[in-house]
Amino acid sequence: MIKKLFGILIICVALTNLGFSQTVIKSFVAPGDNGTWGLTWDGQSLWSASISENGSVVYQVDTLGKILSSFNFPYGIVSGLTWDGNYLWIGEALTPNLYKYSKNGEELIKLITSLGDVAGLAWDGTYLWVIDRENLTINQLSSEGGILKSFSIETYDGNPSGLTWNGFSLWLCESFNNQIIQLSSEGDFISSFTGPGTNATEIEWDGKNFWISDIVTDRIYQVQFKVAADTAVAKIAFAPDKWNIQWRNLLEEEEENEDEAENEMRKGKLNAYIGEITLRETTFDVKQILVETVRLNFAVTVAKKEECGGESYTENDQKSQTDNCFLAKILRRRTGFEGSVLKAKFNKFEAIQSLPELIQVGDSVEVTISGMLDNGIYFIGKVKIYVHGPPRTIVEDEDKSSLPKTFKLFGNFPNPFNALTQIKYYLSQDGQVELTVFNLLGKKVIVLVNERQTKGEKIVFWDGRDELGTDVASGIYFYKLVTQNESDFGKMTLLK
């Protein structure tokens, strides 16, 4: 792609997510002729890369987008940039390699790490932080490239591509979902917001504002954002502490076997216990929780205010009846906890549905409860839950189908593949469908489907060629299925 115009756009757009506000102050066209990846701030100017498989160009630009200097990076695709106070660090995509460079383009050090596919570098003042896209982890590295700390980001698998550190937390770009996730240094979720463009690819903190690059819009945005305060840590537990995968199946089968599903629902809800909320040396009482903000796995409401409707408990354990509410009450203690504990009940079907569909029997999943205290401080707690139960089997009459009743992307087979792979999906209703393949940089490779289709199971083949019929290179590719009301994506590997 050749950039025809150099432009700067001053705008003031207010966005809101999770109670925070962001304002896009300005944006300008990213430097270079190719897509942009990698972004960092050296205290006075920005550094951004124009990427190519045959070598990239690293540009120094001012805050209006004017090019101040540049140098060639000869090894391939730049997948991350960060400034350590004296030198630039560069990540090489699809490799474990990191490089230290001077501002004038002199290569000083090459580190071969134990990571699979480095991206999104950040510097916290002492150590490097690096995304490993192959293993979906964020890693803190020593000066020799050894891993000091590592945590999973499997929850944020929408092409994690950018990373920065703002003094007390990490910020991760999930480009396919255009989301920017705030994480603690231990990997705990704090907040998130939507990128200013369409595919937030990289992010950098300049001490006051964020800078965000977007490989699709080919722009760099300056964004003012009110940073979340420190997050308290809560101890949590569940009863039962193992979840049966058949809960998910029963919910799916509710229409066919309504009475049985309803009877199962009446057998009880899951209990969540929340207590021992601490922030550094301060301990908070669970009575300070704003109950309506407590969330399970960032998707399911655990408990709400008494007046929201439904059956609830007062602090004196006096039962009150309203229309449609979750149960919540404060206990003096519970085994394994010190002091008072908040007991919250919620629908077990919603709980299992909030987990990724890939979760199967025998998996252990990390379930998170987050919320807010009445003083405005966020808290978070995590616990491992074991998923048990028999593998799903369905015995049906000849007239009944075993197909799912909702939209579903089953994935591709074989994966990895050499010459041909098939992508299988199910449509719950007639409608417009688009199935598109993207490369690792988020660029469109080929549109496999763009038409109106009838409901039912579909299989589409891809032969590893682009829109022009040219064989594409070996590597990781993403495919995205979009219908009128839903979308999903998968990842596949082409080997030649």
**What's the rounded Cα separation, in Å, for the pair 276 and 285?**
7
pLDDT at residue number 292 = 67
Query: Per-residue confidence at 21, pLDDT binned at 50, 70, 90?
Result: low
The encoded tokens of residue 402 equal 């075993």
| pLDDT higher than 50, residue 130 | yes
The encoded tokens of residue 334 equal 């519970």
For residues 295-324, one letter each, b for 16 or more C-beta atoms within 10 angstroms of the residue's C-beta and e for the rest, the string is: bbbeebbbbbebebebebbeeeeeeeeeee
pTM exceeds 0.85, yes or no: no
Mean residue pLDDT across the chain: 80
- Residue from 457, 22, 455 nearest 222 by CA: 22
The encoded tokens of residue 332 equal 């003096």
**What's the rounded Cα separation, in Å, for the pair 8 and 380?**
40
Residue 336, SS3?
Answer: coil
pLDDT at residue number 406 = 67
DSSP 249: H
pLDDT at residue number 404 = 52
The encoded tokens of residue 294 equal 């407590």
pLDDT digits (tens, 9 = 90+) for 187-218: 888 778 889 988 899 999 999 899 999 988 88
pLDDT digits (tens, 9 = 90+) for 423-445: 888 888 888 999 999 887 777 89
DSSP 288: G
End-to-end, the C-alpha distance of the chain in Å comes to: 27
**What's the rounded Cα separation, in Å, for the pair 143 and 126?**
9
pLDDT digits (tens, 9 = 90+) for 303-323: 655 544 433 333 333 333 333
**Domains of the chain (ranges, CATH numbers):** 8-225 (2.120.10.30), 231-388 (no CATH), 408-494 (2.60.40.1930)
For residues 86-101, one letter each, b for 16 or more C-beta atoms within 10 angstroms of the residue's C-beta and e for the rest, the string is: ebbbbbbbbbbbbbbb
pLDDT at residue number 30 = 93
Residue 106, SS3?
Answer: coil
pLDDT digits (tens, 9 = 90+) for 356-396: 666 777 777 778 888 878 777 888 888 888 888 775 443 34
Radius of gyration of the chain measured on its C-alpha atoms: 25
The encoded tokens of residue 466 equal 């682009």
